[in-house]
Amino acid sequence: MQTPSYYSAQLTLDVIGVFVFALSGGLVAVKKGFDIVGVLVLAGAAALGGGILRDLLIGSVPPVGITDWRLLTSAALGGLATFVYQPGVERVSRLVRVLDAGGLAAFAVSGSLKAVTLGVAPTACVLVGIITAIGGGMIRDLLAGQVPEVLRRELYALPAALGAVIVVVAGELGALHDWVLWMAVALVFGFRMISVRLDLNAPRPLRTGQPRRK
């Protein structure tokens, strides 16, 4: 039996994820004082990086991030929007986190969904979903010269893993419907925003590794 393609849901999730991550990348570039080229580059890297990594990992080449005009247009519009509308610096970090949560949710679900529809092994589908969700943000932060959010701020990868697992389990049970996909998106977004609000973090080492003062 052939696996449904879920083309409409896949495209919608990809466009949403690309646009909101482009906004987050553009905002970080504005905060860093980049010119319009820098804003567009950082917006594009954040928006398309995760999807390109996803497609390379599952052998779907060339990646849609460099071939689909809708995704390229969405990334460009997100970057231009942040260049034109430049909020105060004190609002940037807050906006980036909200946008990150939206992009994280959309890409965690779309990444694992594409892997599932191509018949990738379940464990790999979950990993692909996580990498799709966090990849663009990591590339953005590295290009901006800062430690990636996934390594330093609240729960980040875990919400993505939750969304990917929901998609994969639903696919294995034959219960992968559009409402399940959007429920997973909502759960990931809510999980991420709650972790930001309550400052919830993954466990950290008890020792810092710094020598004791004598």
**pLDDT surpassing 90 at residue 213:** no
> What pTM does this model have?
0.86
Distance of CA 84 to the CA centre of its chain: 23
Structure confidence by residue, pLDDT tens digits, 133-173? 999 999 999 999 988 877 776 688 899 999 999 999 999 99
Residue 145: left (phi > 0), alpha (psi -120 to 50), or beta?
left
Per the model's pLDDT, the better-predicted residue between 127 and 149 turns out to be 127
Return the SS3 of 20.
Answer: helix
Domain boundaries, the chain: 7-198
pLDDT tens for 11-53 read 999 999 999 999 999 989 988 989 999 999 999 999 999 999 9
| pLDDT range class, residue 88, cuts 50, 70, 90 | low
Report the C-alpha gap between 48 and 5 in whole angstroms.
Answer: 21
Q: Name the percent of the chain lying above pLDDT 90.
A: 66
- At 76, is the secondary structure helix, strand, or coil? helix
Alpha-carbon distance 132 to 169, whole Å? Answer: 18
Euclidean distance between CA atoms 107 and 112, whole angstroms = 8
